[in-house]
Amino acid sequence: MATKKITSLEVAKLAGVSQSAVSRVFTPGASVSKKTNEKVRKASSKLGYRPNILARSLITGKSRIIGLVVAHLDNYFYPEALELLSNALQKKGYHVLVFMVAKTAGNIDDIVDEILDYQVDGIILASVSMSSNLASRCTAAGVPVILFNRTQDDDRLSVVTSDNFLGGKQVAQFLIAGGHKRIAYIAGWEGASTQRDRESGFVDELKKQGRSLYTREVGNFIQDDARQAARKMFTNDEIPDAVFVASDDMAFAVMDVIRFELGLKIPEHVSVVGYDDVPIASWPAYDLTTIRQPANRMVAETVSIILESIEDQDTKPRRIQIDGPLIMRGSTRISSNASGENE
C-alpha cells in the first residue's frame, strides 16, 4: 500500500549532507571523503536506499539494459545461449530485456523500435536479421547491434556465428568417408544464413568429391515440417543411406520418424547427422553425430563485443566465426571400406 520510495534527497537529509554527496557515494570513482562516505552509507542502509537506475540512465544515457530478440526458444540451443548470455552480462552489471518474435519472422523492425524505446545500451539478435534501414537507425542512435547465429551483409552489424560452411563441409567428408552412397539433406528455413551456409558447405564438398545430393527436403527448422520432410524422403523405393539434417532439433524428429514410423534402423539402414550439439544429442536414446556449435564461446565473443562497443563508441563492428568439431556418435556408421576418396 504505502508505496514510498526512498530518494537520495532523503538519505542526504538524514546523513546531513547534500544530495550530490549521496550521488557521489554511489558513483564509482567520484570524489568523496571517508567520513561522508560512512555517513551516507549508514543513512542509506538505514532507510534501505538504492539508486534508481532509470533516473540515472536518463542523465548518463546508459541504461545497463541489453535488448535480446529471440525466435526459437523451442530449439534448445537458444535457451542454453540465453542462460549463458544472461549470466555473463549479469556479472558485468547488465541485464537482458527479452523480446520474443514469431518464428515466421516478419516485422522485426517494429520490435527493434520497441527495444530502442527502452534506451538499451545494445541489441542482440539471436537467429534473426534486421532491415538495413533499421540498422542505420541503430547506428545513428549509437546502439551496437550483434547478430548471434545469423549473418547478414551489413558492415554496421557485428556477427557471431559458428563456421557453418566448414561445418557442412565436415559432414560431407565424414559421410563420404563412411562409405555412404545416397546422401540426402533436410534443410532449415531457407531465409536463414546458417541454413544456406551449412548447405553450401555440404554440397560444395560433395561436388568436390564427385558426388551430388541424392534427395533434398525442407524442414524450416520446425519439427513438424522436418517430420513431413522425412516421411517424404523415406518412402521412395531406394531410400538415402545417410541424411544430414540442418539442426539437431529437426534431426530428433527425423530420427523418430525413421525409427518409429518407418521401422528402420539407425545407423544400419541410414546414418543421421545433425547440427548444434544440443545436450539431447548426447542422450543415448538419440546418440546423434553432429557438429558442435560452441555456445559458450559464441556467447563469450558476443558479450565481449557488445561491452567493448558500449564502452568505446568507435569500435568497429566485428565478424567472428567460431568453428566447432564434428562430434562422432552412434547415429552414423563408419564403413570399413572407407578410403581412397580424396581428390
Partner DNA sequence: TAATTATTTGCATTCGTATGCAAAAAATAT
Partner DNA sequence: ATATTTTTTGCATACGAATGCAAATAATTA
Report the interface residues with a second copy, using CB under 8 A.
Answer: 1-5, 48, 50-55, 57-58, 63, 65, 73-74, 76, 78-80, 82-83, 86-87, 90, 95-100, 113-114, 116-119, 137, 139-142, 252-253, 255-256, 259-260, 279-280, 283-286, 313-314
Least distance between a second copy and beta carbon 249 (Å): 11
Region of residue 182 (phi > 0: left; psi between -120 and 50: alpha; otherwise: beta): beta
Binding mask 19-48 for DNA (x = CB under 7 A): xxx-xx-xx--xxxxxxx------------
Q: What distance in Å separates the CA atoms of residue 207 and residue 172, rounded to the nearest whole number?
A: 10
Please choose which of DNA, a second copy, none residue 334 contacts, taking the beta carbon within 5 to 8 angstroms, the exact cut-off set by kind: none
Dihedrals phi, psi of 176, to nearest 5 degrees: -65, -45
130 scored as a contact of DNA (CB under 7 A): no
Give, in order, the Cα–Cα distances in Å from 340 to each of 105, 142, 181, 241: 45, 55, 14, 20
Task: Choose between 81 and 176: whose C-beta lies nearer to a second copy.
Answer: 81
Residue 60's binding partner out of a second copy, DNA, none, with CB under 5 to 8 Å set by partner kind: DNA
Contact call for residues 159 and 152 (beta carbons, < 8 A) = yes
Residue with Cβ nearer DNA (311 or 341): 311
What is the smallest separation between the CB atom of 135 and a second copy, expressed in angstroms? 14
Torsion 258-263-267-268 (CA) sign:
negative
Q: Of DNA, a second copy, none, which one sits near residue 193, judging by CB under 5 to 8 A according to partner kind? A: none
* Inter-residue contact 112 to 69 (CB < 8 Å): yes
Residue number, 55 or 98, with CB nearest to DNA: 55
- CB 215 → a second copy: shortest distance, Å? 23
Torsion of CA 26, 27, 28, 33, to 10 degrees: -70
User: Could you say which of DNA, a second copy, none residue 1 binds, taking C-beta under 5 to 8 angstroms by partner kind?
Assistant: a second copy
* In the complex, minimum distance from the CB of residue 27 to DNA, in angstroms, rounded to a whole number: 5
User: Minimum Å distance from CB 30 to DNA?
Assistant: 7
Point out which residues pair with 185 in neighbouring strands.
216, 244
Give the shortest CB-156-to-a second copy separation in angstroms. 11
The footprint of DNA on residues 5-24 (CB under 7 A) is 5, 7-9, 16-21, 23-24
Number of residues that bind DNA (CB under 7 A): 30
The label of the residue with cell 531410400 reads: 239
Q: Which residues contact 117 (CB under 8 A, 6 or more apart)?
A: none
Question: What is the nearest approach in angstroms of a second copy to the Cβ of residue 78?
Answer: 8
58 touches DNA (CB under 7 A) = yes
Q: Shortest approach of a second copy to residue 139 CB, angstroms?
A: 8
Q: Which does 174 bind (CB under 5 to 8 A by kind): a second copy, DNA, none?
A: none
Can you name the residues that pair with 271 across neighbouring β-strands? 242
The residue among 37 and 104 lying less far from DNA, judged by its C-beta, is: 37
Distance CA 68, CA 239 (A): 42
**Partner interacting with residue 314 (select from a second copy, DNA, none; CB below 5-8 Å by kind):** a second copy
**Where do we find the cell 557485428?**
158
Binding residues for DNA, rule: CB under 7 A, are 5, 7-9, 16-21, 23-24, 26-27, 30-36, 49-52, 55-56, 58-60
